[in-house]
Amino acid sequence: MAQAILKPSLQGEIEADVEIKAPATKFYHMFAVRPQDVSKASPKNIQGFSVQEGEMGRVGTRVTLNYVLDGKPQVAKDIIEAVEPKKNMIKYRVIEGDLMKEFKSFLFTVQVTPKQGGRGSVVKWNMSYEKIDENVAHPETLLQLCVNMIKDVDKMLAMLKPSLQGEIEADIEIKAPATKFYHMFAVRPQEVSKASPKTVQRCSVQKGEMGSVGTLVTWNYVHDGKPKFARETIEAVDPTKNVIKFRVIEGDLMNEFKSFLITIQVTPKQGGRGSVVKWNMSYEKIDDNVAHPESLLQVGIKMAKDIDEMLSSKE
């Protein structure tokens, strides 16, 4: 049900709670990780959803949304203002486009909550805004468009065969040379904890030699404020491409995942100094209630940036 929370000024807030059949994590994942699929689910409302800068699921990422409102094509350029995977919540702030002709500010907040005592979820779609003057109507028609879109996305998710397999990744730009960053993980990972002590407490070799396939390593790390550990085997190494793959075989991740593979590849930037680290996670969840590991990906991103700072300071 939609409701308006109107204020005595040009500011306003309206929202709707929409019951859906899909699990909360699956619906949230659509908007936080693969929004390009929204136009497939609701083509009458959404014509396109593309990333212009950054990575989906990360604060600061810029996206462009092409939609149809009152029978007319519209465009909105948004920036992701907040992301909370544990709460299945994401916020988009409009910075350019048709809405800016009538509003000084416009913020969308999407939060998905599992239903208590039953299957399905509730999507809370909130819009807070400031109009340019009193002649501008409150955006009830835009809210209705979003409600229709939610229902369309839910229908598509219900039609999809449940898949417990997933893959997420991030590209991180760094200043360090590709070979130097790769060398840190392939040859001397024990120094990762020195570079990023808040994320990695220790990395030790249990069996074999670093940089060799079959080597067994143990990582002690911090995730969501809690100490965790992962025992991994090096599954593949390709020094010519600066690629190394770690497969998790024991540890906390195995409580929620049947399999988990981390691939790190570092590529020199074309036409400039520095490199790009591609941090990829492919996995199979034990069931559909397990969230996609976006927060763990953020740990990897933070670790990569900390390592880059240490390597850059030594140049």
Listed by start position, the domains of the chain span 2-159, 165-313
Taking only the tens place, the pLDDT of each residue in 207-221 is 988 889 999 999 999
C-beta neighbour count of 273 within 10 angstroms: 9
Taking only the tens place, the pLDDT of each residue in 182-241 is 998 888 888 888 999 999 999 988 898 888 999 999 999 999 899 999 999 999 999 999
Assign domain 165-313 to its CATH architecture.
2-Layer Sandwich (3.30)
Q: How far apart are CA 47 and CA 73, in angstroms?
A: 9
Are 2-159 and 165-313 in the same CATH fold?
Answer: yes
The answer to whether 153 and 32 are in contact (CB under 8 A) is no
Domain 2-159 CATH superfamily? START domain (3.30.530.20)
Q: Which of 249, 293, 282, 266 has the alpha carbon at shortest distance from 185?
A: 266
Taking only the tens place, the pLDDT of each residue in 10-68 is 999 999 999 999 888 889 988 888 888 888 899 999 998 888 888 788 899 999 999 99
Q: Where are the alpha helices (DSSP H) in the chain?
A: 24-32, 38-41, 140-159, 178-186, 192-195, 294-313
Instruction: Please give the model's pTM, rounded to 2 decimal places.
Output: 0.56
pLDDT above 60 for 167: yes
